[in-house]
């Protein structure tokens, strides 16, 4: 086992309606690494991200997080968050959304407030805090969703197409946010169609085709 590994996937096969929706012989994601999943639509990228976050199952093979299987692994929920391509924000304001995530992690009132303000500042959403979450643009929603995760303590982010269907302003803001996360040492695993985003952010690329993860440069998958 690699002490530096955040995720270790071995012999994974996940079937959906009798079809192999995602399979991966071997994949290791190291702490602080930025890994891009690329491939055509329906190739299994999103399924793989959801499997790694324990949102889908059961599956054959194994997925470990910080050296322990993801099933009933409290570290997974404490440190890792999956962010949808079009993230869901709960009813209420942006502040309510961050506060709810902080309540889930049982931070005390003072620490929660400090984390909320810090995340708002860091992700440039301070001006949005009192806005209705349902009225934000795509880029703003993406930033709030990531801020919500990071405020609540996540340092391993699984991002599904983080810049898709975004205007240029939103796209630039999200890229800048992701670059900042990478610099700060967060572990990023993201799917993308946008080659420029992959070039900018990824240390390593894993290609997917027909539900199967295929080796990329430096990758272990086969």
Residues near other proteins (CB under 8 A) are 50, 53-55, 57, 77-78, 80-82, 84, 86-88, 90-91, 100-101, 104-105, 148-149, 152
If the CB atoms of residues 11 and 57 are measured against other proteins, the closer one turns out to be 57
- Cβ 23 to other proteins, closest distance in Å? 20
Burial of 100 (0-12, 13-18, 19+ CB in 10 A): middle
- State which residue, 16 or 90, has the beta carbon closest to other proteins: 90
Structure tokens that stand for 84 in this block? 């949808």
Judged by beta carbon, residue 162 or residue 216, the one nearer other proteins is 162
Q: How far is the CB of 25 from other proteins (least distance, A)?
A: 25
Angstrom distance (rounded) from CA 222 to CA 95: 44
Q: Which is nearer to other proteins, 104 or 172 (CB)?
A: 104
Q: Which is nearer to other proteins, 133 or 201 (CB)?
A: 133
Nearest approach in angstroms of CB 121 to other proteins is 21
Is residue 28 within 8 A of residue 2, CB to CB? The reply is: yes
Q: What are phi and psi of 50, to 5 degrees?
A: -65, -40
- Min dist CB 13 to other proteins, Å, is 18
Shortest reach from residue 8's CB to other proteins, in Å: 20
Residue 200: which of 221, 170, 180, 220 has the closest Cα? 180
């Amino acid at each position: 086992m690699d002490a530096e590994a955040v995720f270790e996937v071995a012999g994974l096969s996940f079937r959906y309606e009798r079809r192999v929706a995602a399979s991966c012989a071997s994949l290791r994601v190291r702490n602080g690494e930025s890994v891009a999943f690329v491939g055509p639509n329906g190739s299994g990228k999103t399924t793989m991200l959801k499997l790694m976050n324990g949102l889908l199952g059961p599956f054959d093979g194994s997925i470990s997080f910080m050296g322990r299987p993801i099933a009933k692994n409290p570290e997974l929920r404490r440190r890792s968050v999956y962010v949808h391509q079009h993230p869901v924000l709960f009813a209420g304001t942006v502040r309510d959304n961050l506060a709810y995530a902080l309540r889930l992690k049982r931070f005390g009132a003072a620490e929660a407030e400090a984390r909320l303000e810090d995340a708002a500042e860091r992700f440039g959403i301070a001006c949005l805090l009192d806005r209705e979450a349902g009225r934000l643009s795509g880029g703003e929603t993406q930033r709030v969703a990531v801020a919500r995760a990071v405020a609540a303590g996540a340092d391993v982010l699984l991002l599904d197409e983080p810049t898709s269907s975004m205007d240029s302003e939103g796209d630039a803001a999200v890229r800048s946010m992701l670059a900042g996360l990478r610099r700060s040492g967060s572990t990023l695993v993201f799917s993308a169609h946008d080659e420029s985003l992959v070039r900018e952010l990824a240390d390593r690329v894993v290609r997917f085709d027909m539900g199967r993860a295929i080796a990329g440069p430096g990758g272990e998958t086969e």
